[in-house]
Structure 1
């Protein structure tokens, strides 16, 4: 009898597991800023963590392979004059990262493929347009070089980072913006705000096209994300300060599709969404657990699956894009949990006996190619992400130049060392110059060590010949 009423789902038995101690990242001083950001961003190549730093803002970027203890002198990305509040990897280039800070700016960085040998202080472009701290950065899901920022001046600015230009500015929010999420094709985004309203905005029309007052009755911060089918998943608090989640149809905001009370904890619930599996992972700040749910068309629409629990509370969380998971182990998600002094990857796996590729777990997923240029999007075009197969796993492409259809600020970026000033800076992308410089340094060091070895050998030889005379 009971078997017939159990809901069938291939994700019903997903289980979480912390990696072995040596596969974590140790001795990281995670930022103590009170901003409700995830403090962490990850992609198939790199892990970025916002850290404590004296005299300004800094964050750490580690190749995923650099596990274990992080040297306290490991070079960081520095450049902001105030604490960094949010970071986000570009979905179309695994070497491009955006950051924003209390210094009222956002910056875009090109991270070299090799290990950093010195602090990175030269952003590709500095985006200046906010009058107060910038707390949110998020890339457009399908258009190249489009970045959205939101600040404590209650402004939302959409930028073309290839040219450094602000394209769209919206000032529809009367109070602090808590969260912003693009929909799947980037035609709309939804926001939550301190005025307790959930809004759906069309940036190209520069207008709010739908809104709902108090989707959650409590006054504490809310979060909202678009799902694959255009609904909006929210987390917030009841009037009695219980944590709550909701699912909404933005074309009919009157009644929720689903509303579910969770517990009485006071940490803000950060939702991480997997569009391929239609699953959402809820990570509460200060919690030591991750709850995960599946969203379907059948009542109750948001189905609780399980809870992953560990001993220590999380300060923040990073969520790996689907193309970065290990298909050979039936891993469907990987989260990076920030503690006070370390970062622990957590793998989410569907137990399967077969070693073959599991087609049902891995539909084609959003790949790294943008579906359109900034001008196409600005002209009103909408495109879904370009999908790639996961069958053979995913190999990140090498670092490449950030392209823009208009004049690109990268093309005229001055070279930082005179030793390559004879090179035409327009003819080589910056990351190639960076790599050439590193190789030159490496060759110089090799030549120097060989010269020393030759001198030592010559001295020994002369001593030998003198001795035999």
Structure 2
């Protein structure tokens, strides 16, 4: 930070991600620990060595994989050093079907047709039994007068087969007019003798009378005996009939997720999945018991992070929220966004009632995002616009009008982003209360901007430097996950910043794995996947080639010197022999 001027293009860098880095955050308790997230769907924690980087850092202290798409936001917990939040562009994929609740099975839905070999319709049974009016299943004789052997006389029938009324059946059961099957003669009192006179019926196996055929087929309504379904003509298959819905694992509901990482074990322990679109901003209250988020679904939410329960939410119709920040212990939220007329706007909210904003104020008609920065010690709000060089100051009060405009810092150089120095890094002797690091891409520089309160006295100003959040965590990761809440451990800036000696960042031991093929470690020499990674590999190889060329030149010079010495020795040897 003390070095100014142009930085060497070959200056060591942190270049371990395989995609564009989308967000970085310093650990609030360890000044050499950085968390970063990238388009490669990973979150990584880096430990910067004492004295800074001496070469490019490609291996992270921790690599956290839990997102399936790019990760756009990360945020450290304000009171626990081992808790990290990450929000990505991924969502949960489930195979549940939504809509009209169609079940996926092999049953037929609709008119309740059963899939079997039974015949439905008029209750016809499938069997060799005869149904209808008159049926005969053998060589039995039906009619008025039947003869089985000798001559026929009168109304007398010879008893060989069984004769019943107008219809005779000697095998299966007769249905229709309820005739009994027996060896008794019914009808016209036929006598049993060997001579039959009268109507001269022929003895044969043909059916007379109502002409019923002897078979296992059904007569009457002509039903076929098979395993096909008659009636409504439904096909028997495992397809769904009715509304014809497709069964797939399409994504429904609100599934964009925030992962909570326990860095002491290096695993995600909680997931918040109450957002229906991409999360664009996260902010904690003072003790980290509440999380405020803004989302592309135009909703502002206050969430209990351990359970993922939404305590309050606001559907911002007149104020589309982009950024949100908690205002210390005032139980207030401040959001920046755009009004319905596309003018930049800020709004003040009560965190316990998000039905309506307490204050709405329009800023200007520019299109860049407004970044809010709040100083809880001085109750000062700073608004910096992306794409312009202005920074506005406001004072936040608990009484109306709540927002008091003070003044504005103007600069001709537009800013793309800003970083903030923690309170313990400010110059207390100069009455510096806030410091920005402004990224100016047009000039390729980072410009520090100090906010100084003019005071004549050089003594410590306690009114602008109250007890502030220190560098010692109040909770461990397991304590916070168990439900404990504590305010930050406070410190005084009167004696200046003193680095704690006993604090050690706890991280799981990383086992180094290697896959060696043809003498090359494939895990350490991963082929480049993106353009940025390809450029990094290119510059790295250029540096190696430069060093190898220098080494080769020095060796060439040394070889030349040795050759000259050898020639001198050869020239001296003949002269000595001649003497």
TM norm. shorter chain > 0.5: yes
- Alignment pair present for 1:285 and 2:386: yes
Partner of 1:392: 495
Question: Residue 287 of structure 2 is aligned with which of 169, 177, 185?
Answer: 185
Residues 399, 134 of structure 1: CA spacing in aligned structure 2 closer, same or farther, 3 A cutoff?
farther
Question: Residue 365 of structure 1 is aligned with which of 468, 476, 479?
Answer: 468
Q: Whole-Å Cα distance in 1 between the matches of residues 424 and 9 of structure 2?
A: 31
Question: Residue 267 of structure 1 is aligned with which of 364, 368, 371?
Answer: 368
Partner of 1:52: none
Equivalent pair of 2:467/2:490 in contact (CA under 8 Å) = yes
When normalised by structure 1's length, the TM-score is: 0.72
Equivalent pair of 2:27/2:81 in contact (CA under 8 Å) = no
Partner of 1:227: 327
Equivalent pair of 1:94/1:396 in contact (CA under 8 Å) = no
Higher relative contact order (CA 8 A, sep 6+): 1
1:34-80 Cα deviation digits (max 9, x unpaired): xxxxxxxxxxxxxxxxxxxxxxxxxxxxxx22322111100110111
Q: Whole-Å Cα distance in 2 between the matches of residues 305 and 415 of structure 1?
A: 57
Equivalent pair of 2:25/2:35 in contact (CA under 8 Å) = yes
1:146-166 Cα deviation digits (max 9, x unpaired): 000000112100101121110
Q: Whole-Å Cα distance in 2 between the matches of residues 324 and 73 of structure 1?
A: 28
Structure showing greater radius of gyration is: 2
Q: What value does the CA root-mean-square deviation take over the aligned residues?
A: 1.7
Q: Whole-Å Cα distance in 1 between the matches of residues 356 and 326 of structure 2?
A: 17
Pairs within 5 Å for 1:23-38: none
Unmatched segments (≥5 aa) in structure 2: 91-255, 515-579
Q: Whole-Å Cα distance in 1 between the matches of residues 88 and 318 of structure 2?
A: 23
Pairs within 5 Å for 1:339-378: 339-340=440-441, 341-378=444-481
Q: Whole-Å Cα distance in 2 between the matches of residues 384 and 247 of structure 1?
A: 24
Equivalent pair of 1:150/1:157 in contact (CA under 8 Å) = yes
Question: Residue 409 of structure 1 is aligned with which of 508, 530, 555?
Answer: 508
Q: Whole-Å Cα distance in 2 between the matches of residues 233 and 113 of structure 1?
A: 38
Residues 398, 80 of structure 1: CA spacing in aligned structure 2 closer, same or farther, 3 A cutoff?
farther
Q: Whole-Å Cα distance in 2 between the matches of residues 95 and 111 of structure 1?
A: 5
Unmatched segments (≥5 aa) in structure 1: 1-63, 417-469
Q: Whole-Å Cα distance in 1 between the matches of residues 488 and 276 of structure 2?
A: 32
Q: Whole-Å Cα distance in 2 between the matches of residues 386 and 251 of structure 1?
A: 25
Question: Residue 172 of structure 1 is aligned with which of 261, 274, 293?
Answer: 274
The DSSP-based 3-state class of the residue aligned with 1:375 is helix
Equivalent pair of 2:264/2:477 in contact (CA under 8 Å) = no
Partner of 2:261: 159
Equivalent pair of 1:142/1:370 in contact (CA under 8 Å) = yes
Residues 140, 215 of structure 1: CA spacing in aligned structure 2 closer, same or farther, 3 A cutoff?
farther
Partner of 2:377: 276
Q: Whole-Å Cα distance in 2 between the matches of residues 215 and 200 of structure 1?
A: 17
Equivalent pair of 1:178/1:194 in contact (CA under 8 Å) = yes
Residues 216, 232 of structure 1: CA spacing in aligned structure 2 closer, same or farther, 3 A cutoff?
farther
When normalised by structure 2's length, the TM-score is: 0.58
The DSSP-based 3-state class of the residue aligned with 2:472 is coil
The DSSP-based 3-state class of the residue aligned with 1:327 is coil
Runs (4+) of structure 1 exceeding 6 A deviation are: none
Q: Whole-Å Cα distance in 1 between the matches of residues 70 and 8 of structure 2?
A: 30
The DSSP-based 3-state class of the residue aligned with 2:478 is helix
Equivalent pair of 1:96/1:109 in contact (CA under 8 Å) = yes
1:351-392 Cα deviation digits (max 9, x unpaired): 111011000000011111000111111111101110000112
Aligned-pair distance for 1:399?
9.8
Question: Residue 318 of structure 1 is aligned with which of 419, 441, 445?
Answer: 419
The DSSP-based 3-state class of the residue aligned with 2:401 is coil
Higher strand share: 1
Aligned-pair distance for 1:413?
5.5
1:249-271 Cα deviation digits (max 9, x unpaired): 12111222211111001001011
Q: Whole-Å Cα distance in 2 between the matches of residues 242 and 77 of structure 1?
A: 39
1:304-359 Cα deviation digits (max 9, x unpaired): 11110111100110011111111100000000000010000000011111011000
The DSSP-based 3-state class of the residue aligned with 1:328 is coil
Residues 283, 197 of structure 1: CA spacing in aligned structure 2 closer, same or farther, 3 A cutoff?
same
Q: Whole-Å Cα distance in 1 between the matches of residues 359 and 72 of structure 2?
A: 29
Partner of 1:25: none
Partner of 1:332: 433
Q: Whole-Å Cα distance in 2 between the matches of residues 283 and 66 of structure 1?
A: 26
Equivalent pair of 1:113/1:398 in contact (CA under 8 Å) = no
Residues 224, 331 of structure 1: CA spacing in aligned structure 2 closer, same or farther, 3 A cutoff?
same
Partner of 2:19: 82
Aligned-pair distance for 1:414?
5.5
Q: Higher mean Cα deviation, 224-233 or 350-359?
A: 224-233
